[in-house]
Amino acid sequence: MEPLTGSLLIANATLFDPNFRRAVVLVGHHDDEGAVGVVLNRALDITVREAVPPLQGLVDPDEPLFAGGPVQTDSVVVVADFADPSRAQILATGSIGFLPPETDDEILDGISRARVFAGYTGWGAGQLETELDEDSWVLEPALPADVFHPRPDRLWHDVLRRKGRTFDLLRLMPDDPAMN
């Protein structure tokens, strides 16, 4: 399988895990050993300023902290748009990548926008491929606008709309199919 780095994983109707129900995941890195990424559309009810004060200068003052996934939820992951993409620890797509844990002012000055996540997603060797074979995820290339979507709660819906009419049934399905 080709590496999925820079792809979006869009939760399919068969994915009932509450960590990923209607989630949109940016795959930051994927190879034979596994994959890592962040859930882009799970804004929390706490701001970056409240949760991680040292990072408040990277984002707007009222920017929420995002739940990046169920792995190491007490750690912080920053996805940023880099003026110099070689400064990213992991480059996902174009100029969008993951901020290295050790940064200096030169790196921070070269960031035009960022999102801060608590935790991340992770898959061991072959695990993501199995989930894709089971149709748990729909694939789509990531766009910078997806990573910094102004309405993260609408991202799942909007990315499925972009995929075309074939995905209308999934996109328009109620959260609870019993409500249909």
Coil, helix or strand at residue 64:
strand
What's the CA gap between 120 and 27, in Å, rounded? 10
- Highest average pLDDT, of 2-6, 12-16, 118-122, 174-178, comes from 118-122
Structure tokens of 158? 């909007």
pTM for this prediction = 0.91
Residue type, 139: L
Closest by Cα among 136, 178, 133, 143 to 163: 143
pLDDT > 70? residue 172? no
pLDDT > 90? residue 87? no
Determine what percent of the chain is predicted with pLDDT higher than 70: 89
Does residue 113 contact residue 126 with C-beta atoms inside 8 Å?
no
Cα dihedral: 149, 28, 161, 44 (round 10)? -40
Q: What fold, for 7-179?
A: VC0467-like (3.40.1740)
| Model confidence band, residue 167 (pLDDT cutoffs 50, 70, 90) | low
**Helical spans, DSSP H, in 35-150:** 48-51, 105-109, 127-133, 144-147
Domain boundaries, the chain: 7-179
pLDDT > 70? residue 173? no
Residue with tokens 């399919």: 12
Q: What is the pLDDT of residues 35-44, one digit of tens each?
A: 999 999 999 9
Q: What is the pLDDT of residues 109-152, one digit of tens each?
A: 789 999 999 999 999 999 999 999 999 999 999 999 999 999 99
